[in-house]
Amino acid sequence: MRNRSVLVVSAITASLLAGLLLKPKQPRAVAEAVISNPMVMAPVLLPAQASQPTTKDGRQYPLVPAEPAELTELLVAVERALRDPATPADALPDLGHQQQVIYRVLSTDQPRANQVVNALPPRWRSVAERHLAARREFVRMSRGRGPTMLPAWRIIQPEPAKNLLSYYRKAEAATGIEWEVLAAVNLVETGMGRIDGVSVANAQGPMQFLPTTWAEQGIGAGDIRDPHDAIQAAARYLVRRGGLQDIRRGLWGYNNSDYYGRAVLLYASLMKEDPAAYTGLFHWEIHFNAADGDLWLPVGYDQPQRIAVEKHLQANPASRSPNR
């Protein structure tokens, strides 16, 4: 039997989704107006320490302020900057990563999360609640101590955001499966294509298809590892599994987990309500919950075979979280 805290959090997640599933998404013209309407704001100064180790390209694991008031101010600034078309393109990767790590840290620190969420302006409160609820669904999927081995993955740059968005929208036009759901599936499966690897179940490509599923008539066409082809196939598969009648049922067919389905729909709801939320999610990095904490696997991680966490950290200290 699940414990009371899990039941309570699941009830909160269900209540968040209940209203969002009934809420119509913005028409495309309105959505594009939101994205193209700039806000005048100062650049965001992200927290940093000179003593922190860096990756080969000079980036650092994002720091999360311990003080709730400071963290609240930072989160609001990051959310706004990610939606502002005036934000320089080269600032977006670090902003997106900062957003991601804030929510990952808060998802396992309920007291501090409550303080931050309660202090947020109304505009950002529901956004934060959904991010945290989605992350906690995945935390519950992987209870217990994290693994001591890292996977045999290659972390690569994804296709440009505008390319992926065109693929999601093409798939929606062809099948009726909303582009936001497809983007959310792509996000949680492979970080929108950053993970180039085969799962323990032999799932492959950016949408993590089993070769047997890909081979089903009317599902796979083209290259299982090609983002365009895989996204179109994912939409067709969700239709086959009943996604047009009930997207929750379609997602259950994609991954037999209620946790998974709820998380996907929470992320999709953020983009459905505000398409500019896609920018932040696109810039999320690959993190791995290991025995030594929440490890960051940046672009350039390349392991043809599994590697011990300890050995990886000796050679790549920037992967270790500085947030305790």
- pLDDT of res. 200: 85
Residue position matching structure tokens 């500019």: 276
Question: Which pLDDT does position 73 carry in this prediction?
Answer: 98
The pLDDT score that the predictor gives to residue 3 is 43
- pLDDT for residue 34: 45
- What is the DSSP track for 251-286? HHHHSS-HHHHHHHHHHHHHHHH-TTHHHHHHT--E
Q: What is the C-alpha separation between 61 and 323, in angstroms, rounded?
A: 9
Cα dist from 169 to 28, 33, 152, 231, whole Å = 10, 17, 32, 10
The structure's pTM equals 0.90
Correct CATH for 154-280 of 1.10.530.10, 3.40.50.880, 3.40.710.10, 3.40.640.10: 1.10.530.10
Strand partners, 316: none
Amino acid at site 85: P
Tell whether the torsion through CA atoms of 281, 132, 72 and 100 is positive or negative.
Answer: negative
Per-residue pLDDT for the chain (324 aa), expressed as one digit of tens each?
334 444 444 555 555 665 555 456 766 654 444 444 445 567 899 999 999 999 999 999 999 999 999 999 999 999 999 999 999 999 999 999 999 999 999 999 999 999 999 999 999 999 999 999 999 999 998 877 789 999 999 999 999 999 999 999 999 999 999 999 999 999 999 999 999 999 888 999 999 999 999 999 999 999 999 999 999 999 999 999 999 999 999 999 999 999 999 999 999 999 999 999 999 999 999 999 999 999 999 999 999 999 999 999 999 999 999 997
- Residue 126 amino acid letter: S
Structural domain boundaries in the chain: 4-147, 154-280
Q: How high is the pLDDT of residue 12?
A: 54
Tokens standing for 17? 């989704």
